[in-house]
Amino acid sequence: MLAIDEALVVHHLRRMACGQAAAGGTVRAGAGARIAAQRIDRELTARMPQHPESAIGNLADLEAGQIALSRFIAQRADGLYVQPKRLESAADFADFVNRVFDTGLYFRGLDYAHFAWLLYGTASDPDREPAAEVLLAADITFFRPERRALYSAMLIDGDEAAYLFEPLYRDAGAGDTAAETRIRLDIDEFIASAWTQGVRFGIDIAATRAGFEVDKAERRVIAHSLPFVPGKDAEVCELAPGLHRNNAPRRLLGDRVDLRQFETRYPQVTAGLRLVRKNPRTAGVDGRRLDGEVLPAPMPKDFDLASLAGPGTRISHDDGAEYLLATVCGFLSIDRQSNQFSVTDKIVSHEGVSVRTTGDLLLTGEEYEQHGEIQEKRVVQCRSITAYADVYGSIISSGGVVRLKRNLVGGSASNEDGDITVEGMASGATLTALAGCINVKRADNCVLAARQVVVGQATNCHIVAEELTIEVADASALAARTARLGAARARRELDTVLLMLLPDLSSFDATLATLRGKRAATEKAITAHRARMDVLRSDKEVANYLALAQRLRNHEATLTAEQQVGWRRLSALVAPTLRSLSQLSDLLKELTTESDACGKQIAAVLAAREEACSKVNCTIARVEGETRVSALLSRPAELPLNALPVKELKARMRRTDAATRLLFAGHAGPFSWSYRSRPT
């Protein structure tokens, strides 16, 4: 005959009825959960005993279904205590728990917070500090099958588990007064049932107890996994102020702002300054899944601070921290691709100069490198600059070297005390270096003014220089003191004009006249003083005194006592005259020195005048088109050509008037000329 667990049958019939009622809508308290249990003994119903029988036995006389306590568990009058120090490995307690539940037992009066801490090192209540002996439970008892059948399967969905709570009833027996009796679930049994279903962590005890009291079927979440707490990546903490560029408009005096310039573009640092500190990574906290397995926190990202140390920086370990220090004074730059810090004595930029990236620049550094374009209408003020891309704006240098690796188009470049070099082409540009040299490979429709100009090919240009060297000049207007042209050509009926700037000799002549007049007056005074001295020396007594004094100095004569008396008398007599002679002699020496100095000055002025004249010469190797060479005498009252506005300069260089003297006009052949001034 087949044996039937009638209590289990009753439970499943009630589950089916309750499920049907829940599917149909609202479940009334107890509705659909009352099913007649015919031929079922009331003693076999799922009633919870008030004092369940302990399942703990002695190892010597252990009965079937009992369990022996492990060495790390002590049984006291008030319950079971775990001694953590006696756990040899982290798995010891988990193995014991598995043995309890696998045997069909459960922990009665379980302290779930201590239970979780012993298993996983975490507790639901972080304020509870476990002692040397940790209370685990009141007892270990049997999980009866009729009670186990009361607990349905859990719905595990990812990181949470849900349970369908519903009221359960048993029919009243013959001796019961009530029509039905509700079956109460037990939290300890629930934990044991959940364990066997794989929910071994994160049970919400309060939510579960509340679910036991529902009056209608209701699904509730009763367990959550513990998410990991992410760590913190290693990071760079900025220490030095002003590391970042400030793109706010530059503030001026009087609460005004310059919208064309930014507040800070290229930060400067001093040697020994701590730039950044590395904040080390912080490990995260592992989480826990519902099955008790570890949910590892990802390893935070790390980096080597040394990889950020570029030229001019070094790594320092102080106060238990890692720092990046500047080793030299200079400008700080951070590479956008490698994030490398570097401090150099020059500013290096790859972003170009525009209204969006930099605005106008006013730089205090000694050297500036720009690898991007300098856009139209943008102004860069600096000392030395090297531009590796095209320049469309303006460069203003206070000294040093302006070196353009590409082209200067429609912009300008000026240098107060240095040179300008354009390795590409200059087109429609203005270049000025009055104290330096301008060297351009090719210039089209440009204006150049400098002490020295060297151009490979100049087309339709206007150039003013002290010394000019051009390989090919096409339809250009040139003005110089010394000119060397390889070829001069016309272009579209526009000839090439060369003005030889004659020196203004009036200043030399005026200086010479002054010096010569001064020297003549000095010579006249010298002559007069010499005549006066001759008159004084011609006196008989003075002449005798001077002659005798000379003989005495040369030891050619000696005086007796009587003669010495006469000598003293004669000395007293001529003393005034001797004093006058001495004064005249000193004055004569001064005048002679002054006359010699005037002579040297006159010679120097003459040499300078000759040198100024000798520098004025020109040589044209080949005249291949209409070319006109004229001499231009500049007047002191007139502005020099390099000071004229561009429009006036262009008109003046092609104008013929009384100040110009034609030297050559033709379309072929070589031409050479040197200036010779009139003798003075």
For residue 382, give the amino acid letter. Answer: C
Q: For 19, phi and psi rounded to 5 degrees?
A: -65, -40
Q: Write the CB contacts of 625 (distance below 8 Å, at least 6 apart in sequence).
A: 488, 489, 490, 491, 495, 496, 667
What's the distance, CA 591 to chain centroid?
70
Rounded to whole angstroms, how far apart are CA atoms 139 and 417? 98
pLDDT for 5 = 38
> How many Å separate Cα 117 from the centre of its chain?
50
Closest by alpha carbon to 55, among 121, 103, 124, 114? Answer: 103
pLDDT at 257: 53
* Start-to-end Cα distance in the chain: 155
Q: 3-class DSSP state for residue 3?
A: coil
DSSP code of 307? G
Residue 401: its H or E element = strand 400-404
Tell me what pLDDT residue 27 has: 33
3-class SS at 477? strand
Structure tokens at 235: 């990071």
Quote the CA–CA distance of 144 and 55 in Å, as a whole number: 12
* Residue 429 pLDDT: 96
> What is the distance between the alpha carbons of residues 115 and 87, in angstroms, rounded to a whole number?
14
Secondary structure letter of residue 65 according to DSSP: T
3 state DSSP class of 535: helix
Residues with pLDDT less than 70, the chain = 1-51, 122-130, 171-180, 242, 244-266, 678-680
Give the list of residues 6+ apart from residue 215 with CB closer than 8 angstroms, or none: 29, 30, 167
Q: What is the DSSP letter of 384?
A: E
The strand pairing partners of 455, in sequence order, are 440, 470
Contact 67, 58 (CB under 8 A): no
614 near 606, Cβ under 8 Å? no
pLDDT in tens, 432-491: 999 999 999 999 999 999 999 999 999 999 999 999 999 999 999 999 999 999 999 999
Count, residues in the chain: 680
Structure token pair of residue 583: 């004064």
Cα angle 210-215-221, degrees, rounded to a multiple of 5: 40
Going along 291-429, which residue ranges are E strands?
294-295, 313-318, 321-326, 330-334, 341-344, 346-349, 361-362, 367-370, 379-382, 384-387, 394-397, 400-404, 408-409, 412-415, 418-427
Task: List the beta bridge partners of residue 459.
Answer: 444, 474
pTM: 0.57
Task: Name the amino acid, one letter, at 215.
Answer: D
Pairing mode, if any, of strands 447-459 and 462-474?
parallel
pLDDT attached to residue 13: 38
The dihedral over CA atoms of 373, 376, 380, 386, expressed in degrees to the nearest 10, equals: 30
Q: DSSP letter for 429, please.
A: -
Cα separation, 210 vs 220, in Å, equals 10
523: left (phi over 0), alpha (psi -120 to 50) or beta: alpha
Cα 392 to Cα 429: distance, rounded to the nearest angstrom: 9
What pLDDT is stored for residue 353 in this prediction?
A: 87
Q: Supply the DSSP string of 29-45, one letter for each residue.
A: TTTT-----TT--GGGS
Q: Is 641 helix (H, G, I), strand (E, B) or coil?
A: helix
Question: Which residue(s) pair with 274 in the sheet?
Answer: 325
> pLDDT at position 22, please?
35
* Nearest-angstrom CA–CA distance, 26 and 166: 12
C-alpha 45/C-alpha 397 separation (Å) is 103
Tokens describing residue 596? 């010699």
